Amino acid sequence: MSDKTLPGKVAMITGGGRGLGKAIALALGGAGVKVALSSRTQAELDSTVAALRATGVDAEAFPADVTDEAAVGRLQRDVLARFGKVHILVNNAGINIRKPVQDFTLAEFRAVMDTTLISTFLMCRAFVPQMKPLGYGRIIGLASTMGHVSIAHRTPYSTAKAGIMGFTRALALELAPDGITVNTISPGPFATEMNMTILNNPELAQTFTSKIPLGRWGKVEEVGALAKFICSEGAAFMTGTDFLIDGGWCAQ
């Protein structure tokens, strides 16, 4: 839905080619935001950019590996050259590897941490300095219910998501004098590409559904709507907090 409540703002979204990142891009684009998207997959980025441009949104794709320090530096340079400034930073990049802890290699564990947590640090370090003089800033990290509670075989994922929440609280205090809010969104089960292993197993999918008090999986558009609210003036007094959107999962 187009409501143009955030005209003139520019958003940088990692992991923006699909799933929750794409939903956030569409929601912010509908509110009048110009959108820079990044992921490792060019085809997914092109698809999302095309969807945004079809509704009149000024959008651009910037393929990058946000776990790489030099690549993030180039991304920052290219995005600012194209858009001039970034008001909104959404750190959505992340992966999940599910297996018993003894079966993880160090490289696998680090891959989850690097893609999910270290990329958040690198992106904030790159984009915060230009955000400070703007008098407005919104940083949103995608955490997870798995950072609050957990289930078996999620050790690196839960570690990374809990780390994002701790990083966010500290950064919120650091940036509050600059008028920049820093928050996280913690989704529960959503029908995204990351969860296709579960969704493609009807018995396992039903097991997850039975544990959600509202009795259904989330819709990606609901995360997009929440992100748009966090970027609005109505959320200007909210910082250093986490927004659970999980159908009641963590209330149990």
Active site amino acids: 157
Pick the closest to residue 181 from 136, 224, 124 (CA basis): 136
Amino acid found at 39: S
Residue-by-residue DSSP string for the chain = ----SSTT-EEEEETTTSHHHHHHHHHHHHTT-EEEEE-S-HHHHHHHHHHHHHTT--EEE----TTSHHHHHHHHHHHHHHHS--SEEEE-------S-GGG--HHHHHHHHIIIIIHHHHHHHHHHHHHGGGS-EEEEEE--GGGTS--TT-HHHHHHHHHHHHHHHHHHHHHGGGTEEEEEEEE-SB-SGGGHHHHTSHHHHHHHHHT-TTSSPBPHHHHHHHHHHHTSGGGTT--S-EEEESTTGGG-
CA angle (142 as vertex; 130, 154 as ends), nearest 5: 140
